[in-house]
């Protein structure tokens, strides 16, 4: 018996739905194997994770709070990915946002306190945009490979942030971290720990969906991502759009950092590079670059993180389990996508006969 | 063609082959026989099932029923590797080459018995030897993406010869070749026959059938409608009728030649290669008036494509001027050129003409989406796009299940019709068409040519780049011949002679003819 793939005559919509669901299941089965190897009962472990993520109001709130920066990072990465611009620098752009808002909060004391938050957010967004825009310009002008530049720019800005919170901007007391932002400039909470950032994120989902699917610019991004040369022939400027898309991508990643800093950490400190930017890559892929689906995916990803914290506490398993599962989710999905355009044929062996 | 003796066992015998695709019966009980030393022409329109039949012979598809015998033995062909092991190799219409690797690397790529560190010197030697033996000029060191389409095809042929194929399947091999190159191919095939090789070639050009083949088999809508010795065919027209099942119009309707104002004026155009060297475009000057079709003849790779890219703003020029509709458009962006009224049917349908993963409707609106006709305040009006697309699909008889189907699932002819529809609809007086009928069947070719002439009759200036002299003589008013980046001469199409054009295409100066 042999297997082979044959191209379908059109995209299978059934498979387009089935593949993500099936790959989620496959990844949990794979995760179960890892759990078994770690001498844990997978059913108990998964139950503990679900309980840890959604088991009480507080836990649900923690999960939602985590899902806000994840969603924003997923959206940010997704915009660049539409152009097949592999922005793996959302992490750095996120940190750029935090640095921007912290600068305003700490040093722009001439501002009335009511303006601190909006101005701080704008500056943070701007920092993110610049940090994303630089690789965009490099790519557009000199075709510098963006995977390298975006990745390296992460380390530059993370290092710079360390210098700031360990040294230049360090609060007088304590050994790291900046002074907490003035309380009146914090982003207000709306339900327990869940803060107003959730509205900003959800509104942005709607706006992005509209921009990407309804406007001329969204149409142009789609053309470039799917066939750059044809887009060029139709008069679409590749350079301009790469730069614009990366400015926007960086701005949204910066916004993620700004919101988390203004609502959760209230300072620039260790742990600012929490990996949201990297997880955003998985979210962008899993959602098929669709802003609305990103909402669901980012909640799942957040639940895996908060759930694995619970795993550590209740079952004494390392909380790296969450990261393992996050990674495991992506692999079957990427592998499974082939079935949307191809079908698997099983060929039975026939005996060779002489004619 | 040499005489054929058919006393041996056939090298290929396909028996009662049937293949279904969803909604389509691609092959219906087809039989095919190929003898040693024979060239079989497989004739049929696009969608007649020729490629499907051949894809089953090389293991890309599996037949639903039927049997294949190779050299007398029932064969189980599940993959191209299986067919290669039996000595069967195919050259597809879309070449299977890796663009950024060398000729030699491409030729040996994927060979199972290749050592971990390939002996490149030895491989080069063998390639050079093979290329001499069959008159296939290639340089093993050259990178594929620097080669013309014609040269790439030679690499494809060498790839098969290198692997020792003795049954060659060529899918429309001359679609991308000039008359001269096509004759070379004929020579190559003849040499192969004397060495006991056989070939099947898929085509829809009658003259090729007459010139190349011993036997011709005609497919129509998945069925084999006729198999006969080529010699027994009295009139080409009979073949054509068999293929399409109706009489074809061989002449096109056209209005009188009535040129208007100059719409395209190119002066002393100079394009130099990156890093220096011989100019790609060397002092090109010509003009096209409204209501006039200027045909550009020439062997592929002599600068025709760069010329059209320079005009459409895709390629920067180093010197000279381009005036379009009276405005200086030298080194302007593609968008500015489009806004100056230029429409462009690019050379490579799949990679330049359409976005395969987007719908027919989206592809049709890719020029007008930015105009008030389809959008307002930067927002695309979906309802208008749907109406617009349906209108064009009907007007240009594009065969598609609906406008939401991804373009890549359409046939070549319908992809080209999609491009034609979009470009002609948005045309503002200048139409540039590069190899517009390449690889299309008779019906689609006729539609393309008729549409170009219609634009001319409406007063457009049309630039038509083609490799087929027959097409240029039929469609163009004037013909410019390009050779090595220069225009050798511009002649009136009605006085032009094929032999003379052929000489110019080969680089012979006018005074020497």
pLDDT score recorded for residue A354: 40
Q: Say whether A10 and B13 touch across the interface (CB within 8 A).
A: no
Q: Say whether A216 and B369 touch across the interface (CB within 8 A).
A: yes
Contacts of residue B339 in chain A, CB cutoff 8 Å? 235
What domains are defined for chain A?
Answer: 1-40+320-349 (no CATH), 68-316 (1.10.3470)
Interface size A-B, in CB pairs within 8 Å, comes to 94
Task: Write the pLDDT tens digit of every residue in B104-138.
Answer: 888 888 777 777 888 888 888 888 888 888 877 78
Residues ≥6 apart with Cβ < 8 Å to B119: none
- Whether B159 shows a pLDDT value over 60: the answer reads yes
Q: Say whether A11 and B370 touch across the interface (CB within 8 A).
A: no
Task: Write the pLDDT tens digit of every residue in B210-244.
Answer: 888 889 998 887 888 888 888 888 777 677 677 76
Q: DSSP letter string over B264-284?
A: EEEEEEEE--TTS-S-SEEEE
Q: Say whether B334 and A350 touch across the interface (CB within 8 A).
A: no
Nearest to A235 among B72, B334, B351 (CB): B334
Distance CA B172, CA B182 (A): 11
Contacts of residue B352 in chain A, CB cutoff 8 Å? 229-230, 233
pLDDT score recorded for residue B22: 61
Distance CA B464, CA B430 (A): 11
Contacts of residue B344 in chain A, CB cutoff 8 Å? 233
- Whether B323 shows a pLDDT value over 50: the answer reads yes
B258-341+445-513: CATH architecture: 3-Layer(aba) Sandwich (3.40)
- Assess A7–B contact: CB distance below 8 Å, yes or no: no
Spans of chain A, pLDDT less than 50: 351-355
- Mean pLDDT check: name the lowest of A310-314, A321-325, B51-55, B324-328: A321-325
Find tokens 């899902």 and name the residue: A67
In SS3 terms, chain A reads as: CEEEEEECCCCCHHHHHHHHHHHHHHHHHHHHHHHHHCCCCHHHHHHHHHHHHHCCHHHHHHHHHHHHHHHHHHHHHHHHHHCCCCCCCHHHHHHHHHHHHHHHHHHCCCCCHHHHHHHHHHHHHHHHHHHHHHHHHHHHHHCCCHHHHHHHHHHHHHHHHHHHHHHHCCCCCCCCCCCCCCHHHCCCEEECCEECHHHHHHHHHHHHHHHHHHEHHHHHHHHHHHCHHHHHHCCCCHHHHHHHHHHHHHHHHHHHHHHHHHHHHCCCCCCCCCCHHHHHHHHHHHCCCCHHHHHHHHHHHHHHHHHHHHHHHHHCCCCHHHHHHHHHHHHHHHHHCHHHHEEEEEECCCCCCEC
* Residue in B with minimal Cα distance to A347: B78
Looking at chain B, the whole-number percentage of residues with pLDDT higher than 90 is: 38
Q: Which residues 236-255 in chain B show a CB within 8 A of chain A?
A: none
pLDDT score recorded for residue A233: 93
Q: Say whether A235 and B354 touch across the interface (CB within 8 A).
A: no
Contacts of residue B367 in chain A, CB cutoff 8 Å? 234-235
Task: Write the pLDDT tens digit of every residue in A31-43.
Answer: 899 889 888 888 9
Contacts of residue B314 in chain A, CB cutoff 8 Å? 232-233
Domain limits, chain B: 258-341+445-513
* Residue in B with minimal Cα distance to A220: B366
Contacts of residue A6 in chain B, CB cutoff 8 Å? 61
Nearest to B338 among A219, A222, A235 (CB): A235
**pLDDT average, residue stretch B8-22:** 86
- Whether B507 shows a pLDDT value over 90: the answer reads no
Task: Write the pLDDT tens digit of every residue in A102-136.
Answer: 999 999 989 898 899 999 999 999 999 999 999 99
pLDDT score recorded for residue A348: 65
- Mean pLDDT check: name the lowest of A261-275, B165-179, B384-398: B165-179
**pLDDT average, residue stretch B404-425:** 89
């Amino acid at each position: 018996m042999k297997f082979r793939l044959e191209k379908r005559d059109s995209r299978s919509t059934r498979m387009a739905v089935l593949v993500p669901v099936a790959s989620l299941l496959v990844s949990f089965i794979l995760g179960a194997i890892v759990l078994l190897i770690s001498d844990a009962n997978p059913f108990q472990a998964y139950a503990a994770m679900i309980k840890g993520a959604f088991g009480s109001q507080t836990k649900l709130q923690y999960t939602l709070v985590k899902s806000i920066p994840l969603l924003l990072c997923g959206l940010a990465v997704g915009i660049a990915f539409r152009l097949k611009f592999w922005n793996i620098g959302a992490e750095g752009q996120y940190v750029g946002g935090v640095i921007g808002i912290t600068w305003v909060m700490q040093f722009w004391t001439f501002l009335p306190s009511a303006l601190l938050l909006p101005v701080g957010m704008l500056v943070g967004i701007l920092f993110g945009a610049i940090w994303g825009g630089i690789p965009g310009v490099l790519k557009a002008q000199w075709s510098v490979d963006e995977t390298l530049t975006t990745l390296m720019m992460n380390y530059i800005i993370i290092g710079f942030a360390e210098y700031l919170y360990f040294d230049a901007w360090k609060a007088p007391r304590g050994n790291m971290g900046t002074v907490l932002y003035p309380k009146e400039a914090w982003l207000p909470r709306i339900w327990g720990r869940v803060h107003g950032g959730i509205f900003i994120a959800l509104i942005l989902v709607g706006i992005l969906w509209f921009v990407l699917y309804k406007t001329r610019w969204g149409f142009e991004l789609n053309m470039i991502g799917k066939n750059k040369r044809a887009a060029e022939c139709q008069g679409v400027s590749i350079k301009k759009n790469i730069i614009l898309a990366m400015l926007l991508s960086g701005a949204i990643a910066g916004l993620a950092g700004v919101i988390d800093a203004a609502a959760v950490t209230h300072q620039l400190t260790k742990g600012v590079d929490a990996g949201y930017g990297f997880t955003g890559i998985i979210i962008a892929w899993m959602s098929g670059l669709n802003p609305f689906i990103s909402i669901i995916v980012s909640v799942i990803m957040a639940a895996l993180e908060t759930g694995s914290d619970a795993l550590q506490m209740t079952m004494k398993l390392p909380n790296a389990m969450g990261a393992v599962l996050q990674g495991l989710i992506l692999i079957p999905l990427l592998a499974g996508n082939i079935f949307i355009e191809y079908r698997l044929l099983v060929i039975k062996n026939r005996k060779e006969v002489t004619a | 063609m040499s005489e054929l003796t058919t006393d041996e066992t056939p090298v290929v015998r396909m028996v009662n082959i049937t293949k279904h695709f969803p909604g389509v019966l691609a092959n219906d009980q087809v039989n095919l026989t190929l003898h040693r030393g024979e060239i079989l022409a497989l004739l049929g329109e696009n969608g007649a099932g020729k490629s499907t039949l051949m894809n089953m012979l090389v293991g890309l598809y599996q037949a639903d029923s039927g049997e294949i015998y190779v050299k007398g033995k029932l064969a189980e062909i599940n993959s191209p590797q299986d067919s290669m092991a039996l000595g069967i190799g195919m050259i597809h219409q879309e070449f299977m080459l890796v663009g950024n690797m060398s000729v030699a690397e491409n030729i040996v790529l994927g060979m199972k018995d290749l050592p971990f560190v390939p002996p490149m010197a030895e491989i080069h030697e063998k390639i050079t030897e093979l290329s001499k033996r069959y008159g296939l000029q290639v340089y093993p060191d050259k990178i594929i993406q620097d080669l013309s389409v014609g040269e790439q095809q030679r690499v494809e042929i060498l790839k098969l010869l290198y692997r020792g194929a003795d049954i060659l399947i060529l899918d429309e091999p001359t679609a991308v070749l000039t008359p001269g190159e096509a004759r070379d191919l004929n020579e190559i095939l003849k040499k192969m026959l004397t060495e006991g090789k056989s070939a099947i070639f898929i085509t829809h050009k009658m003259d090729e059938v007459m010139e190349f083949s011993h036997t011709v088999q005609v497919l129509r809508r998945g069925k084999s409608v006729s198999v006969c010795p080529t010699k027994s065919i009295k009139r080409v027209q009979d073949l054509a009728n068999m293929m399409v099942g109706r009489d074809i119009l061989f002449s096109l309707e056209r209005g009188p030649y009535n040129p208007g104002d100059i719409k395209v004026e190119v002066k002393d155009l100079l394009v130099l290669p990156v890093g220096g060297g011989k100019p790609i475009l060397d002092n090109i000057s010509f003009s096209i008036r409204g209501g006039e079709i200027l045909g550009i003849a020439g062997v592929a790779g002599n600068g025709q494509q760069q010329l059209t890219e320079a005009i459409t703003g895709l390629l920067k020029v180093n010197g000279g001027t381009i005036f379009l509709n009276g405005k200086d458009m030298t080194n302007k962006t593609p968008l500015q050129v489009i806004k100056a009224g230029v429409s462009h049917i690019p050379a490579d349908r799949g990679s330049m003409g359409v976005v395969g993963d987007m719908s027919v409707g989206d592809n049709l609106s890719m020029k007008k989406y930015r105009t008030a006709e389809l959008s307002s305040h930067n927002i695309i009006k979906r309802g208008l796009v749907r109406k617009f697309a349906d209108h064009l699909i009907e007007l240009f008889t594009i065969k598609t299940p609906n406008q939401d189907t991804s373009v890549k699932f359409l046939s070549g002819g319908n992809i080209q019709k999609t491009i034609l529809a979009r470009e002609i609809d948005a045309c503002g007086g200048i139409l540039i068409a590069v190899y517009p009928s390449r690889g299309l069947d008779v019906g689609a070719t006729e539609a393309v040519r008729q549409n170009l002439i219609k634009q001319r009759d409406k007063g457009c200036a049309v630039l038509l780049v083609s490799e087929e002299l027959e097409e240029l003589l039929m469609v163009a008013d004037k013909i410019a011949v390009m050779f090595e980046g220069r225009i050798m001469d511009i002649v009136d199409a009605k006085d032009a002679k094929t032999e003379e054009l052929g000489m110019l295409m080969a680089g012979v100066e006018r005074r020497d003819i």
